[in-house]
Structure formats: C-alpha cells, structure tokens
C-alpha cells in the first residue's frame, strides 16, 4: 500500500538471527498485509516469492449519517406499540428507519461501546438483511457489559420485549436459528463462521456466570439453544419454558408472551428459568409424575413382596432396585432384624443374598 495517502512508514520487517527466514506486516489500519518466507528454497534464492501471505479482515466503518438513518415515523411507532414496545425503549436502543428502494425499513443498529459496528434491517414482510463487510456481534451488547446474569434471545424484537419486562441484561443473536443441531464436532474458533459473533463478543460473555437461553420455542429455536450451549458451556446455561397458549400450542417467543400475557408474566418466566439439560444430571421434578403414580399405585408395576410380617406389610414391602436403610441405636437389633428379613424372603420367594457385615467376623 506504500503507506497510503499519508505515506506513513507502517511496514515492519523481521529477519531471524540465522538469516533463514523473514516476516513482515503492515500495521496500517486499512492494509494489514503480512507474510513470511524462507531465505532459500531447494538451494535457490526465493526473494520476491512470498509464502503464507494473508490479509487481515477489514470491516467497513459506518455511521448513522453514512447509512442515512433517520428517526422512526409515526407509522412505525404505531407498529411497535401494537407489539407492546414503547417509544422510550426504542429510543434507548437507537432503533431507527431508512429508505430502501421504494419502502421504509426498520433499522436495528449494532453497537459496541456506543460505536456503530453494524446494522440489521427488517421490512414489512419480515425479511431481514445486514450491512455487508461489517463485524458480526450480539445486538444490545453494551447492555451486558460486566453482567453476571445475561439473557440471549433469537431476535431484536425479543430483546426489546425483554426490556419492557425489566430485563435489560439481554442480547439477541444476529443471524437467527439453524434448522437443526450440527452432528459435527465443534469447529475451531477461526472456522466457526456461523457463530463468529460469539467469539467476537467473548470478552463480554466470559464474565457471565449464568446465561439464560430464551430462544424461540420451535424446533429451530431449540437447535439454536443447543448450539449456543455447546459453545458457552452447558454448566452455566439455563433455559426458559414458554407457557401454553392453548391445549396444543405454546407461546413462541418473548415478544408473543409480552403481547398476550404482559411484562409481569414475561419477567416471571425468565425468573423461573431451569438448568440447561446435561446428560446424566436430572432434576427431582423430572420424576414427580412417576413418584406420584407410585404413591397412589397407579402404574401397574410390581410393588414388592411381603416382609413376612403382616403388621409391617401395610407400611413396607421389599422391592428389587430400591434402596432400604435401616437405622437405630446401637444394640437395638438392626442386624438381627435384617437377617430375619432375608430368611423370610428366601423362604417365600427364593431370593439369594450376599452379605457384607464389617462387625461380624
């Protein structure tokens, strides 16, 4: 680049002490050219032949003026009002509009430290697109700075809905959800292009000890939650359960809950978020129906066999796979009672037993 218009001396050259290779990089912001090459190749000089040269990804610098963004019209304010999004929330999040062809579209500015990094657009047909050659980050990123608890949703409207419910510590993914969970292993950071926005916001996300995944309730939304949990760590992820809309359907997302049930219910749903499922780790609530059915004896399972004492059978039966703990003060007859129970079971149902008694030699 020869230093650009200012002809600044931005090229750095390093030659190894043995003279075997050279490395270079241009530190000019709009260039970034770098590479390396050995001094000799197959016994021949290789000057002028670079090996492994690459160019650092350069993002466009954009401003509200360059994008020709303007305040929301009364029509769009009315549209947001129908979706229970207030003008104050729109103003705080910098939601604007712009002309695109023969239509006016909604503009969602993506900012980091207050600086405009990218912008996403939405038209009346719910078609989305983003500014080209801009960095992918989370929408509302500045709202989770130094937050220990954060919420991740699937769209900008859901981020705004969460704010209406009093949850400002919320961000939205920029690219929506995949159709399914990838069966492949997680790619390296530099190759994880679909979720590069997570790596670009790593400094913000690493500070969070609890991440609530409030993605859409459909199949794609659940796939997104799984992909996020794989990268963020399931052990610090929680998930929300959207309530039922009727006997068959559930509410789809945060904005729909806000519209039909109000901000109080939406906040309550977030507060009741559950641990994200981890293989081999279960919640007591997962077994509630089974325990309840067992207590009322409605499962139709075998509920064990008689102890041999009719007075005890009303309170206790012996069931294979069930752990029984017998307690009592020393010398109260615990071991003798267990020995008698084993004899009764061996006689009545023919069971065999193995004993390990440390006190009986």
Q: Tell me: the pLDDT tens digits for 152-169?
A: 999 999 999 999 999 999
Total count of domains within the chain = 3
In a domain, 268, yes or no: yes
Q: What percent of the chain has pLDDT over 70?
A: 88
Say if residue 6's pLDDT is above 70: no
* pLDDT of 344: 94
Tens digit of each residue's pLDDT (9 = 90 or more) over 124-138: 788 899 998 899 999
What angle (nearest 5°) sits at the alpha carbon of residue 292, between those of residues 287 and 295?
A: 125
Say if residue 43's pLDDT is above 60: no
**Domain coverage including residue 12:** 4-55
The answer to whether residues 256 and 119 belong to one domain is yes
* pLDDT of 322: 85
Say if residue 299's pLDDT is above 90: no
**Selection from 107, 122, 31 nearest residue 63 by Cα:** 107
- Retrieve residue 134's tokens: 């801009």
The answer to whether residues 314 and 242 belong to one domain is no
The answer to whether residues 78 and 51 belong to one domain is no
Q: Give me the mean pLDDT over the 52-65 stretch.
A: 72
The mean-pLDDT minimum among 22-31, 98-107, 151-160, 190-199 falls in 22-31
The answer to whether residues 317 and 271 belong to one domain is no
pTM (global) more than 0.75: no
**Selection from 259, 280, 149 nearest residue 207 by Cα:** 149
* pLDDT of 169: 96
In a domain, 19, yes or no: yes
Element containing residue 109 per DSSP (H, E)? strand 103-112
- Residue 220, by phi and psi: left (phi above 0), alpha (psi -120 to 50) or beta? alpha
The mean-pLDDT minimum among 107-111, 267-271, 281-285 falls in 281-285
> Which residue is associated with the tokens 């610090």?
236
User: For the chain, how far is it from start to end, CA to CA, in angstroms?
Assistant: 89
């Amino acid at each position: 680049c020869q230093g650009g218009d200012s002809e600044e001396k931005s090229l750095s050259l390093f030659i190894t002490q043995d003279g075997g290779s050279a490395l270079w990089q241009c530190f000019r912001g709009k260039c970034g050219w770098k590479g390396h090459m050995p001094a000799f190749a197959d016994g021949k000089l290789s000057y002028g032949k670079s090996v492994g040269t690459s160019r650092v990804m350069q993002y466009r610098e954009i401003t509200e003026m360059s994008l020709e963004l303007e305040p929301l019209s009364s029509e769009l304010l009315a549209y947001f009002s129908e979706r229970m999004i207030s003008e104050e929330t729109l103003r705080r999040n910098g939601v604007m509009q712009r002309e695109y062809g023969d239509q006016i579209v909604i503009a969602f500015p993506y900012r980091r430290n207050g600086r405009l990094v990218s912008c996403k657009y939405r038209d009346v047909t719910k078609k989305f697109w983003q500014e080209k050659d801009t960095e992918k980050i989370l929408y509302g990123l500045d709202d989770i700075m130094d937050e220990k608890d954060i919420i991740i949703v699937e769209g900008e409207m859901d981020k705004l809905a969460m704010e209406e419910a009093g949850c400002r510590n919320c961000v939205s993914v920029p690219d929506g959800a995949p159709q399914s969970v990838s069966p492949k292993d997680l790619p390296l950071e530099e190759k994880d292009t679909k979720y590069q926005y997570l790596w670009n916001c790593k400094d913000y996300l690493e500070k969070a000890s609890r991440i609530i995944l409030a993605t859409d309730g459909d199949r794609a939304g659940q796939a997104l939650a799984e992909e996020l949990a794989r990268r963020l760590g399931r052990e610090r992820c929680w998930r929300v359960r959207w309530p039922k809309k009727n006997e068959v359907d559930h509410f789809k997302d945060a904005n729909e809950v806000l519209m039909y049930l109000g901000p109080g219910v939406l906040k309550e749903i977030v507060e009741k978020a559950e641990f994200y499922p981890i293989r081999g780790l279960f919640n007591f609530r997962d077994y509630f129906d089974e325990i309840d059915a067992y207590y009322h004896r409605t499962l139709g399972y075998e509920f064990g066999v008689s102890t041999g004492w009719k007075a005890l059978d009303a309170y206790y039966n012996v069931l294979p796979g069930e752990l029984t703990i017998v307690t009592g003060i020393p010398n109260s007859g615990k071991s003798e009672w267990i020995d008698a129970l084993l004899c009764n079971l061996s006689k009545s149902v023919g069971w065999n037993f193995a004993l390990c008694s440390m006190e009986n030699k």
